[in-house]
């Protein structure tokens, strides 16, 4: 089975108020075979900048530690305190020794530094199943990915895909927690 395009999404939460709604939506996407969550971590950063990491899955903490965190290996972050952080860093280092490098030095992304103190973040490593046939067709046509990114709703006004009021409402919804 070919793996679809994989994306790491980092979502910030000033004062998390989780009621299972996000997990329910991800489960709907999985059931429809639209996406697969490869790995998910919750990172809590207190007012002093100390970090606590929890694995978000139906695995027990020992199982998650044993199986390893794909995100941890990708960014050098573990889930079992200092030992887990070391394990994540080790997995990332082993991948680098094997010639695999998640991010070039120019593209390095210090995810932990991006999380404000006294807040939380959800790190989701998602495989986009829906994109496999499209990606394969593009490759067969000789195409390749040059870049990607999410477009702000505010940028859609100028091309007529949304009104200024709708775009502002969506932008406010997407960025409310950052204020």
Number of domains in the chain: 2
Q: Do 52 and 115 lie in a common domain?
A: yes
Q: Is the pLDDT of residue 163 over 90?
A: yes
Report how far apart, in Å, the C-alpha atoms of 132 and of each of 4, 7, 32, 34, 151 are.
5, 13, 14, 10, 21
What's the whole-number mean pLDDT along residues 71-90? 56
Any domain includes 86: yes
Residue 137 and residue 82 in one domain: yes
pLDDT at site 112 = 80
| Whether pLDDT at 62 is above 80 | no
Whether 1 maps to a domain, the answer reads: no
pLDDT exceeds cutoff 80 at 58: no
45 shares its domain with 118:
yes
pLDDT reading at 178 higher than 90:
no
Domain range for 173 is 149-179
How does DSSP classify residue 155? Answer: G
Q: Are residues 109 and 79 in the same domain?
A: yes
Q: Give residue 177's region: left, alpha or beta (phi > 0; psi -120 to 50).
A: alpha
Handedness of CA 89, 101, 13, 131 (dihedral sign): negative
Segment 14-28 shows an average pLDDT of 81
The gap from C-alpha 25 to its chain's centroid, in whole angstroms, comes to: 15
Say what the pTM is.
0.68
**Can you give the pLDDT at residue 3?**
80
């Amino acid at each position: 089975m070919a793996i679809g395009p994989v994306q790491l999404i980092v979502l910030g939460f000033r004062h998390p108020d989780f009621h299972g709604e996000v997990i329910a939506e991800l489960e709907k996407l999985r059931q429809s075979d639209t996406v697969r969550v490869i790995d998910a971590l919750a990172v809590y950063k207190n007012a002093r900048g100390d970090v606590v990491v929890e694995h978000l899955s139906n695995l027990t903490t020992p199982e998650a530690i044993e199986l390893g965190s794909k995100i941890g290996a990708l960014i050098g972050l573990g889930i079992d305190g200092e030992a887990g952080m070391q394990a994540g860093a080790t997995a990332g280092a082993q991948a680098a020794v094997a010639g695999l490098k998640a991010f070039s030095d120019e593209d390095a992304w210090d995810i932990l530094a991006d999380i404000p103190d006294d807040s939380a973040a959800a790190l989701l490593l998602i495989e986009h199943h829906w994109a496999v046939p499209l990606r394969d067709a593009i490759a067969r046509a000789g195409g390749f990915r040059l870049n990607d990114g999410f477009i702000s709703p505010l940028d859609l006004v100028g091309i007529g895909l949304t009104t200024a009021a709708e775009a502002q409402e969506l932008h406010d919804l997407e960025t409310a927690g950052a204020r």
